[in-house]
């Protein structure tokens, strides 16, 4: 029943889906750019969800995304440093934005199981995420400046665009 | 000549009178005494009177005349009923005539002697007869009374026997119908037992089927588990695909204008990964439903086998109960048949009793009628005796 719906076993169905997808793609390519927003007006951000908030990061600062995978817990560390992970043979520190921002951790929620890898100011961190969403263009003009210390601002659809430079520059991250 | 003729006359009278005298005595002796006496005694006196009349005419026979006069007087008193009297006799100075007369007196006295004895016997016998007939009449009266009582008792007994017979007949009919009903119940309980044994075998079949179902469900559950594991693996693959696509998107974005085409491909890959994931989520949900369904099926089959167990126990108990019931009913049927048989025998006995009562009643009726006849005969006898006694009344014999 479910197999019928999915059409996995149906060669013709799979063929039709593939053709449909190609057609859409061709249409997208062929379509004239209706609103050719100048590239300079756009900021490409990677959006992700953590707790009840959605955050956006400038893709230029992003080094990649990954499932959190196995993480070694850290003890006697600040609460935002939750552990270390092995990223292709190198140690990376897992960082939880919520305690850093003083936000509560809902015990009902499952622990974050994805990570966005960032680099800057001599630091390489794996930011915890409940779900990495998408790379999406954001109009720079849509980012309204908020009184947030580590954010460039908030978009109209409540995406908090983080200021990674400011974040990574924080003294608290520097451990002696 | 005249003397000769006179003498001849006297002789003739004597000769003619003697048979009469003897006849009277004979009659008295033969049992008809009152009549005989009544006729004979006056005749004897009359004869003596004639003899006296003749002797008076002779003049020279003075002692003879006085003796005859004595005889006449005595005989007259005897005729009045005193049988104790005797004629006077002479022992001396007897002439030829006086001697003859004296012999006549002796003979008459002997006759009187005999007559007195017979009358005495008669009187005593009649007294005895009266007392005896009185006793017989009393006895027959009692007998008739008792026979009547007996008849009433027999009538009553016959009625009672008839009632008892009716009751016994009814009892026999009821016992018969009880026996038939019990027989029917026995056959019903036998079919009940068959139904129970069929139910037991049906329960066994259900038990085996339920066990098969439980086994199949366990196999199904294991398969579902395996599918879950496969789905988890597919899910992990989808996650990895998505991550790869996101990384590609990030790289494409960082590449700027040159990465645009690549960005589209990366989006497509991510869409596929998302679809894949959605599908696995759906499959997982369905698997969860299957798991729940199999779990509840397992529980239901467990309950089912428990139900079958208790059902089997109940059915076994029902079977035992029906068995006991059947035995009890069979006993009851046997008892009812025995009752019916014995009541039939009782009916025969009652009929015999009724016949016996009828015979007794008949005999009693016969007894009453013959006793009544006896009573009538005795009554007549008594009346006859009373008549004889009345005739004898007035005689002085002692």
B83-134 pLDDT, tens digit each: 888 888 877 777 787 788 888 888 989 998 998 888 888 888 888 988 999 9
Give the model's confidence band at A174: pLDDT under 50 very low, under 70 low, under 90 confident, else very high.
confident
Q: Do A111 and A139 belong together in one domain? A: yes
Say what the pLDDT of residue B85 is. Answer: 87
Same domain, A168 and A104: yes
pLDDT digits (tens, 9 = 90+) for A16-69: 888 888 898 888 888 776 666 777 788 999 999 999 999 999 999 999 999 998
Q: What is the pLDDT of residues B45-83, one digit of tens each?
A: 788 888 888 877 765 567 778 888 888 888 888 888 888
Contacts of A135 in chain B (CB under 8 A): 246, 249-250, 252-253, 263
Q: Could you tell me if B232 and B239 are in contact, meaning their C-beta atoms sit under 8 angstroms apart?
A: no
Q: Are residues A50 and A25 in the same domain?
A: no
Tally of residues, chain A: 176
Tokens representing residue B230 in the block: 């496969």
Candidate ranges A1-5, A91-95, B47-51, B207-211; pick with highest mean pLDDT = A91-95
Q: Which of B197, B30, B174, B46 is nearest to B115 (CA)?
A: B30
Contacts of A114 in chain B (CB under 8 A): 243
DSSP β-ladder status, A90-95 and A114-120: unpaired
Does A73 share its domain with A152? Answer: yes
- The top-level CATH class assigned to B156-384 is mainly alpha
pLDDT of residue A62: 93
A160 shares a domain with A109: yes
- pLDDT for residue B59: 59
pLDDT at residue B294 greater than cutoff 90: no
Percent share of chain A, pLDDT over 90: 43
Pick B235 or A31 by higher pLDDT: B235
For position B380, what pLDDT does the model report? 93
Distance (Å) from the alpha carbon of B216 to chain A's nearest alpha carbon: 21
Could B253 and A132 be called an inter-chain contact, meaning their C-beta atoms sit closer than 8 Å?
no
- Determine the residue among A135, A136, A138, A164 to mutate to test chain B binding: the one whose Cβ has the most chain B Cβ atoms within 10 Å: A135
Sign of the alpha-carbon torsion through B22, B28, B29, B31: positive
pLDDT band for A7, please (50, 70, 90 cuts): low
Distances (CA, A) of B125 to A26, A65, B14, B115, B341: 175, 171, 36, 15, 67
Mark yes or no for CB contact B252/A2 under 8 Å.
no
pLDDT of residue A162: 93
Q: Is the pLDDT of residue B378 over 60?
A: yes
A5 contacts on B by Cβ (under 8 Å) = 282
**Contact between residue B123 and residue B89 where contact means Cβ atoms under 8 Å apart:** no
Asked if B378 contacts B136 with a C-beta cutoff of 8 angstroms, the reply is yes
Query: Rounded to a whole number, what is the distance in Å from the CA of B215 to chain A's nearest CA?
Result: 24
Q: What is the mean pLDDT of residues B254-278?
A: 87
Q: Residue A9 — very low, low, confident or very high, per pLDDT cuts 50/70/90?
A: low
Predicted confidence band at B301 (pLDDT cuts at 50, 70, 90)?
Answer: confident
Q: For residue range A128-143, what is the model confidence (pLDDT) as tens digits?
A: 999 999 898 999 888 8
Considering only CB atoms, A60 lies closest to which of B246, B254, B286, namely: B254
pLDDT at residue B13 tops 50: no
CA A52, A56, A58: angle at the middle one, nearest 5?
165
> Which chain B residues have a beta carbon less than 8 Å from that of A59?
250, 253-254
Question: Quick one: pLDDT at residue B183?
Answer: 84
> What mean pLDDT is reported for chain B?
83
Do A45 and A25 share a domain, yes or no?
no
Most A-contacting residue of B237, B253, B258 (CB-CB within 10 A), to test interface:
B253
Average pLDDT (B340-352) is 88
Residues in chain B closer than 8 A to A25 (CB atoms): 264, 268
What's the rounded mean pLDDT across residues A72-101?
91
| pLDDT > 90: percent of chain B | 18
Testing the interface with A: which of B245, B250, B262 to mutate, by most A Cβ within 10 A?
B250
Give B20's pLDDT tier (boundaries 50, 70, 90).
very low
Report which of residues B301 and B376 the model is more confident about.
B376
Kindly state whether A68 is in contact with chain B, defined as any CB-CB distance less than 8 angstroms.
Answer: no
* CB-based contact A64 B247, cutoff 8 Å: yes
Give the range of the structural domain holding residue A81, as residue numbers without chain letter: 40-173
CATH number of the domain that residue A72 is part of: 2.40.50.180
Which residues 18-37 of A are in CB contact (within 8 Å) with B?
21, 25, 28
What is residue B24's predicted lDDT score, i.e. its pLDDT?
43
Nearest Cβ partner of A2 from B247, B268, B283?
Answer: B283
Q: Kindly state whether A175 is in contact with chain B, defined as any CB-CB distance less than 8 angstroms.
A: no
CA distance A71 to chain B (A): 17
Tokens 């990061």 identify what position?
Answer: A57
pLDDT at B19 (0 to 100): 44
Among the partner-chain residues B243, B254, B283, the one whose CB lies closest to the CB of A59 is B254
Report residue B336's pLDDT band, with 50, 70 and 90 as the boundaries.
confident
Considering CB atoms only, which of A5, A21, A62 is closest to B250?
A62
pLDDT value, residue B26: 45
- Chain A residue with the nearest C-alpha to that of B269: A21
For B161-204, write each residue's pLDDT tens digit: 999 989 988 888 888 888 888 888 888 888 888 988 898 888 88
According to the model, what pLDDT value does residue A3 have?
55
| A52 & A107 share domain | yes
Can you tell me which residue has the tokens 């936000």? A103
| CATH 1.10.287.950 domain extents, chain B | 156-384
**What pLDDT score was predicted for residue B43?**
80
Are B243 and A46 in contact (CB < 8 Å)?
no
Contact A135 B253 (CB under 8 A): yes
Edge-to-edge strand order for the sheet containing A114-120? A62-67, A114-120, A123-129, A90-95, A81-87, A71-73
Residue of A nearest to B241 (CA): A66
More confident residue, B296 or B36: B296
- Averaged pLDDT, A148-171: 89
Mean pLDDT of B138-144: 92
Q: How far is CA B215 from CA A155, B35, B296, B297, B347, in A?
A: 59, 141, 14, 11, 72
Per-window interface: A 69-128 vs B, CB < 8 A: 114
What's the count of helices (H) and strands (E) in chain B, helices before strands?
5, 0
Q: Which of A21, A25, A135 sits opposite B250 (nearest CB)?
A: A135
When divided into structural domains, chain A yields a total of 2
Alpha-carbon gap, residue A134 to A138, rounded angstroms:
12
């Amino acid at each position: 029943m479910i197999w019928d719906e999915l059409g996995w076993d149906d060669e013709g169905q799979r063929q039709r889906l593939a053709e449909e997808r190609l057609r859409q793609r061709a249409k997208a390519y062929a379509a004239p750019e209706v609103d050719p927003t100048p590239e300079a007006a756009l900021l490409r951000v990677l959006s992700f969800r953590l707790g009840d908030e959605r955050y956006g990061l400038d893709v230029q600062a992003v080094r990649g995304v990954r499932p959190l995978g196995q993480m070694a817990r850290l003890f006697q560390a600040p609460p935002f440093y939750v552990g270390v992970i092995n990223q292709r043979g190198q140690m990376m520190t897992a960082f939880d934005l919520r305690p850093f921002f003083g936000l509560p951790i809902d015990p009902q929620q499952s622990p974050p199981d994805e990570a966005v890898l960032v680099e800057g100011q001599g630091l390489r961190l794996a930011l915890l995420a409940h779900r990495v969403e998408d790379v999406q263009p954001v109009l720079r003009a849509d980012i309204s400046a908020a009184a947030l210390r580590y954010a460039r601002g908030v978009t109209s659809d409540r995406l908090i665009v983080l200021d990674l430079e400011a974040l990574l520059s924080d003294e608290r991250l520097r451990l002696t | 000549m005249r003397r000769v003729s006179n003498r001849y006359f006297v002789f003739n009278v004597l000769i003619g009178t003697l048979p009469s005298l003897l006849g009277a005595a004979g009659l008295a002796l033969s049992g008809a005494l009152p009549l005989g006496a009544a006729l004979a005694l006056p005749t004897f006196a009359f004869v003596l009177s004639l003899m006296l009349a003749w002797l008076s005419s002779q003049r020279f026979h003075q002692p003879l005349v006085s003796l005859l006069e004595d005889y006449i007087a005595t005989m007259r008193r005897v005729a009045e009923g005193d049988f104790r009297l005797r004629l006077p006799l002479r022992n001396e100075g007897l002439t030829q005539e006086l001697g003859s007369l004296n012999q006549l007196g002796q003979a008459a006295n002997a006759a009187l002697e005999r007559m007195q004895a017979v009358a005495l016997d008669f009187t005593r016998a009649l007294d005895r007869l009266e007392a005896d007939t009185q006793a017989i009449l009393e006895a027959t009266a009692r007998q008739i009374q008792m026979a009547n009582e007996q008849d009433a008792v027999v009538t009553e007994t016959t009625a009672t026997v008839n009632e008892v017979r009716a009751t016994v007949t009814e009892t026999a009919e009821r016992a018969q119908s009880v026996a038939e009903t019990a027989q029917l119940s026995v056959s019903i309980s036998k079919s009940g037992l068959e139904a129970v044994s069929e139910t037991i075998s049906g329960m066994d079949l259900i038990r085996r089927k339920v066990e098969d179902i439980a086994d199949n469900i366990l196999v199904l559950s294991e398969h579902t588990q395996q599918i879950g594991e496969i789905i988890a693996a597919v899910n992990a693959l989808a996650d990895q695909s998505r991550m790869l696509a996101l990384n590609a998107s990030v790289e494409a974005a960082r590449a700027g204008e040159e990465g645009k085409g690549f960005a589209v491909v990366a989006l497509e890959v991510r869409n596929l990964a998302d679809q894949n994931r959605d599908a696995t989520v759906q499959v997982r949900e369905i698997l969860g439903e299957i798991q729940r369904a199999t779990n509840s099926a397992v529980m239901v089959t467990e309950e089912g086998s428990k139900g079958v167990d208790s059902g089997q126990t109940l059915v076994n108990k029902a079977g035992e109960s029906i068995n006991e019931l059947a035995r009890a009913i069979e006993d009851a049927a046997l008892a009812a048949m025995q009752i019916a048989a014995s009541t039939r025998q009782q009916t025969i006995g009652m009929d015999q009793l009724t016949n016996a009562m009828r015979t007794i009643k008949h005999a009693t009726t016969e007894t009453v009628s013959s006793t009544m006849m006896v009573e009538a005969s005795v009554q007549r006898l008594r009346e006859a005796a009373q008549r004889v006694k009345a005739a004898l009344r007035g005689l002085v014999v002692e």
